[in-house]
Amino acid sequence: MNYAELIAKALQGRSVNQTAKDWGVPQQTLDRYVKAKTMPDFQTTLKIARDSGVDLETVVRIFAEAEAQKKPRGMFMEFSLANALSLVLALFLGLAAILPTKEALAQGFEKVPFRQEQ
């Protein structure tokens, strides 16, 4: 059973407005739960478990799975391997352009200028 199926089962064919009245929840709040824009609070979770006939542990697991699926990934998680390698290469090449040459290191920084871009 997924999140949408669980909510539909808990509504028992009632409208969102009627269910909100029955549960003592603002209609807009229940509508956000039904559309999975937000996850239900603890009190509403208990009501969903009761009205759906699904045990509380299963309800919480379904909510946790739904929450995990809708969380946006962080910037770094969205990088593909190719993007990550491109970034590393760009950083390396950028650093290589400002690092001194072997000659500069051998002779001391004062005597030989830094490598110039060509």
Per-residue pLDDT of 8-52, as tens digits, reads: 999 999 999 999 999 999 999 999 999 988 889 888 999 999 999
CATH of the domain at 32: 1.10.260
Q: Are 40 and 63 part of one and the same domain?
A: yes
The answer to whether residue 118 scores a pLDDT higher than 70 is: no
Pick the closest to residue 25 from 36, 14, 35, 33 (CA basis): 33
Can you tell me the mean pLDDT for 71-98?
58
Higher per-residue pLDDT: 57 or 90: 57
Amino acid letter, residue 9: K
Domain residue limits at 93: 75-107
Q: Are 14 and 67 in contact (CB under 8 A)?
A: no
Q: What is the pLDDT of residue 117?
A: 53
Say whether both 11 and 43 belong to one domain: yes
- The reported pLDDT for the residue numbered 67 is 83
Query: Which pLDDT belongs to residue 61?
Result: 87
Q: Are residues 103 and 79 in the same domain?
A: yes
Looking at the structure of the chain, the number of domains it has is 2
Q: Is residue 116 part of a domain?
A: no
User: Looking at the predicted structure, is the pLDDT value of residue 73 above 80?
Assistant: no
* 99 in a structural domain: yes
**Residue 84 and residue 28 share a domain:** no
**27, two tokens:** 């209609």
